[in-house]
Structure 1
Amino acid sequence: MDLGTRPRSTAALLSGLRAEVEGRQASLVREWATIVEWAGDHVVSGPEGAATITEGYLDTGVPIAGDGAPLVSEFALMELVAVLGRTPDGGKAYVGRVIECAWRLPNVYEAVVAGRLAPWRAERIADLTRGLGAEAAGFVDRQLWNASGVGWAQLERLVAEAVLRYDPDKAETDRAKAADHRHFDISDVDEHGLVHLDGLLDAADGHDLDQAIGRRAEVLGRLGDDSSLDVRRSKAAAELARQDLALDLLVPDPDTGEVVATVPGRKVVLNVHVTDTTLAGRNPVGRWEEGRCPVSTAQIREWLRARHTTIVVRPVVDLADHLPVTAYEIPDRHKTRVALRDHTCRFPHCTRPATRCDIDHAKPHQRGGPTCPCNLVPLCRRHHRAKTHSTWRYDTPMPATYVWTSPTGFRFRVDHRGTHPVHPPDE
């Protein structure tokens, strides 16, 4: 399509686009610095006359930034928001996020000013930390100050961990209240003879149910059921119910004489990571591998108390071990080490969990690359194909650090802090 412009190479077009993105971000950083200076000039001494968050048509009375941030004048803020060209409520929330970063998340704010962290990412962090106490917000700040590639779900998990660490009583109270809302309901039959299910379960119970239904649905497929996976899963749930009704493990209750059915115990493996400080009671947080989230020690105790639960204690995995094997096939122990080291697909900005990824030999096995964690990289199927069938390439300058080169020469560094552009290609 001829738009009357002189043709340019793809690399030149993308270089120009990158310059526009960087210029827009630099302008936004200057805007943030001006807002921070403005906030310092418009501090009020008490809650009366201070700007507060509005939800819908209601004034919540909650300051626009968290505990420890300055209270700013409500009327002065109206003028600032008008100059920014934002709506009253949206502008108030935006300024609150900037103040939250500048005063309560100093590392995050410094990373924004230095260009290491995009302002929109910092705003998302501020949204989650505004309701935290100063200690918890500081914990989040220390973890995320340079993590430009952290996704929304990971941010939420980190905030949940901060609450567990610094306000465990509140976290446990909230968890107990939430658990009281567990339910499992079946709707009335619709005109097609179908019913809808709706439930809220304990996370481990939900994981058990999902795994059991998934296994049975897979078996149905192998036995010749050509229905879709969704349909087979619905059939599998019904079969689980019928199996329970058909159990012949009947025993009388010793007190009432009532005959009740007993069911097998948990058959699903739940991988929970705890440290020695957790076991000693000094650290209230563990990590649930399958859920990819922090869990309280109180919840772990509940899971371990479940009837027929088998506890297996595995030794700590040393991620620095070099354990090459001669075969191309990758042992499970190597896959575990790679997943624990890298957590997600190592393609730029990809957040697919490493446990759901292919494992790539950084140096191809047929060219002498060892089947060893030091030469193995998790790549989701899409990005594994891109690396194999296109000109995307990566190098590993140090363990768990990957430098990708795009087809037109752009380079991206991927490490535990996220994805960072290295420099534009030569034009």
Structure 2
Amino acid sequence: MGTPRITEYAAATFGARIQTSPYGAKRLIADAVDLVHRLPKLWAGVQAGTVRSTHARRVADATRELTADEAAWVDAEVVEIADGRLAWTRFEAIVEGKVAAASPELARAKEEAAAKDNYVRVSRINKHGKATLTFHTDAALILGSNAGVTAVAKALEDQMPDATRNERRVAALALLTNPQAHVDLSVGPVKPKVEIVLHCTPDSPIARMEGHGPVTIAYVRHLVAHFASQVKVQPAIDLNQGAAVDAYEIPAKLREAVHLIHPGDTFPFAANLSRKVDLDHQVPYAEGGKTSTDNLGPMTRTHHRIKTHAGWQVRQPFPGIVIWRDPHGAYYLVDQTGTRKVTATTGDQTPTHLETFLLKVALDWAA
């Protein structure tokens, strides 16, 4: 919608000229046309070199079913973060959420169509005596089934002491789906407990399911009505009021506040959004660093070790804004919009006022 028509066989001719298939050329033409006519801000950024073409093309593809006005709204919402500051998976997640927010009706229609797309089937690609079984259904049912497999695999540890975790999980699935696969059925039945975290706001028709992505409020109602045995509503945490405890250990409420301030790994360009990460005292506790929201940051164990042992320094001058300095003196600013390298931007290599301020803040905090 909102783009000129392209002749049917143009992609084949164009594809041959640039040495790609008609399908690949068709996608390239569609993305280019959408960018020029429906996503002008991203297109201007591509031309100026401030937006990566891969990111712009991803938005073009994701917004193809939206109206021109809806696509323009997404264009304005994501153009600032399409410069590569975010890891690809995090950028995709934000685009997906913006597309759903731009057209909740379309998101709901896709959920209704997906609700009918349930199957269990064996993959056609089977080699070396191995096969793949795909189980595609409602996210809540998948999470519950996975928890059941995990619970049975745990119960099999004594019976299979030399097996790997994955081998026990395969045995657990065989036990649950084909009881005759094992003589001893004492490890079942299992009633797994699954925790699903949903983030909802009163003025939005879209909620976010942690680990899954955006869903409509209608789907949330369906989830609660059909799958949830217990619903716990957590009160909003005021992130403008810093929280702290006088101890090294981090209580659950403080951990939750840190997760809301930093929804992902705070290391530069990190992609991890899991809650199962370390919470690092940016100023070490042994050196007087507080156990507080303004001195804690989530990181994977690998990134935590890099920060601890490889000469990286990090400070959080304001909640949610993290400044890193690598061992060679380069600075990076990380916030909820992603990572930006703090370097000179003018031709004479003179830092901007913002860069000078950020460098001064980082140096003062690192001192």
TM > 0.5: yes
Q: Is it true that 1:324 corresponds to 2:244 in the alignment?
A: yes
Check conservation: 2:282, 2:296, Cα contact below 8 A.
Answer: yes
Q: Which residue in the other structure is 2:136 paired with?
A: 200
Name 2:146's counterpart in structure 1. Answer: 210
Q: Which of 277, 284, 294 pairs up with 2:214?
A: 294
**TM-score under structure 2 normalisation?**
0.76
- Would the aligned equivalents of 2:208 and 2:215 in 1 still touch at CA under 8 Å? yes
The residue that corresponds to 2:356 in the other structure is none
| Structure possessing the higher radius of gyration over alpha carbons | 1
1:175 matches 2:96: no
- Other structure's SS at 1:198 match: strand
In the superposition, relative to structure 1, how do residues 55 and 118 fare at CA in structure 2: closer, same or farther (>3 Å)? same
- What residue is the counterpart of 1:371 in the other structure? 291
Structure-2 residue corresponding to 1:119:
53
Instruction: Tell me how far apart the structure 2 counterparts of residues 138 and 310 of structure 1 sit (CA, whole Å).
Output: 40
Match of 2:262 among 321, 342, 367: 342
Cα deviation for residue 107 of structure 1 reads 3.4
Show structure 1 runs of 5+ residues with no match: 1-44, 60-77, 248-262, 278-282
Which residue of 1 is the match for residue 362 of structure 2? none
Task: Give the CA deviation at 1:366.
Answer: 0.5
* DSSP 3-state at the match of 2:332: strand
In the alignment, structure 1 residue 313 sits paired with structure 2 residue 233: yes
Q: What CA distance in whole angstroms lies between the structure 2 residues aligned with 1:339 and 1:54?
A: 51
Which moves more between the two structures, 111-120 or 313-322? 111-120
Q: Quote the offset at 1:328 in angstroms.
A: 0.9
Aligned positions of 1:146-185 closer than 5 A: 146-147=80-81, 148=83, 149-185=85-121
Shift in alpha-carbon separation, 1:304–1:46, aligned structure 2, 3 A: closer
* Alpha-carbon shift at residue 332 of structure 1 (Å): 1.9
Which range moves more in the overlay, 362-371 or 163-172?
A: 163-172
Q: 1:361 deviation in Å? A: 0.4
Displacement after TM superposition at 1:384 (Å):
0.8
SS in structure 1 opposite 2:247? coil
Shift of 1:185: 4.3
Distance 2:151 2:9 in 1: 48
Distance 1:192 1:150 in 2: 39
Q: Matched residues in 2 for 1:206 and 1:330: separation? A: 31
The SS at the match of 2:230 is coil
Matches of 2:31 and 2:99, distance apart in 1: 20
Q: How far off is 1:354 after superposition?
A: 4.4
For the pair 1:394 / 2:328, whether they are aligned, the reply is no
Instruction: Provide the residue aligned with 2:271 in structure 1.
Output: 351
Of 35, 43, 46, 1:101 maps to 35
Q: Check conservation: 1:135, 1:166, Cα contact below 8 A.
A: no
CA distance in 2, matches of 1:324, 1:266: 34
Cα distance change, pair 94–238 in 1 and its aligned pair in 2 (3 A)? closer
Q: CA deviation at 1:412?
A: 1.7
| 1:18-38 residue CA offsets vs partner (Å, 9 max, x unmatched) | xxxxxxxxxxxxxxxxxxxxx
Deviation at 1:315, TM superposition (A): 0.6
Find 1:303's aligned residue among 213, 219, 223.
223
Partner secondary structure for residue 80 of structure 2: coil
Residue identity in the other structure for 1:309:
S
Task: Give me the CA root mean square deviation.
Answer: 3.9
Give the match for residue 226 of structure 1: 162
Distance 1:321 1:219 in 2: 44
Cα distance in 2 for partners of 1:53, 1:338 equals: 53
One-letter amino acid of the counterpart of residue 137, structure 2: L
Residue number in structure 1 paired with 2:359:
none
Alignment counterpart, residue 76 of structure 2, candidates 112, 122, 142: 142
**1:186 deviation in Å?**
6.7
Alpha carbons of 1:219 and 1:144: their partners in 2 closer, same or farther (altered >3 Å)?
farther
Residues 131 and 368 of structure 1: CA distance in aligned 2, closer, same or farther (over 3 Å): same
> 1:231-283, CA deviations, whole angstroms, 9 ceiling, x for partnerless residues?
1111222444579xx99xxxxxxxxxxxxxxx987721111122223xxxxx4
Structure 2 residue aligned with 1:272, among 198, 208, 228?
A: 198
Counterpart contact for 2:148–2:190, Cα < 8 Å: no
Distance in 1 (alpha carbons) for counterparts of 2:55 and 2:313: 27
Residues 148-202 of structure 1, C-alpha deviation per residue, up to 9 Å, x if partnerless? 3334444444444345434434333332222222023479xx9999875322110
Letter in 1 for 2:193: K
Match of 1:382 among 298, 302, 318: 302
SS at match of 2:69: helix
Q: Distance in 2 between matches of 1:124 and 1:192?
A: 36
| Deviation digits for residues 61-92 of structure 1 (CA, Å, limit 9, x no counterpart) | xxxxxxxxxxxxxxxxx6xx96xx67585566
Residue 204 of structure 1 deviates from its aligned partner by 1.1
What SS does structure 2 have at the residue aligned with 1:327? coil
How many pairs are equivalent?
335
Which amino acid counterpart does residue 184 of structure 1 have in structure 2?
V
Shift in CA distance, 392/156, structure 1 to aligned 2, threshold 3 Å: closer
Percent identity for Structure 1 against Structure 2? 30
- Output the TM-score relative to the length of structure 1: 0.67
Q: Distance in 1 between matches of 2:228 and 2:55?
A: 45
Q: Which residue of 2 aligns with 1:406?
A: 326
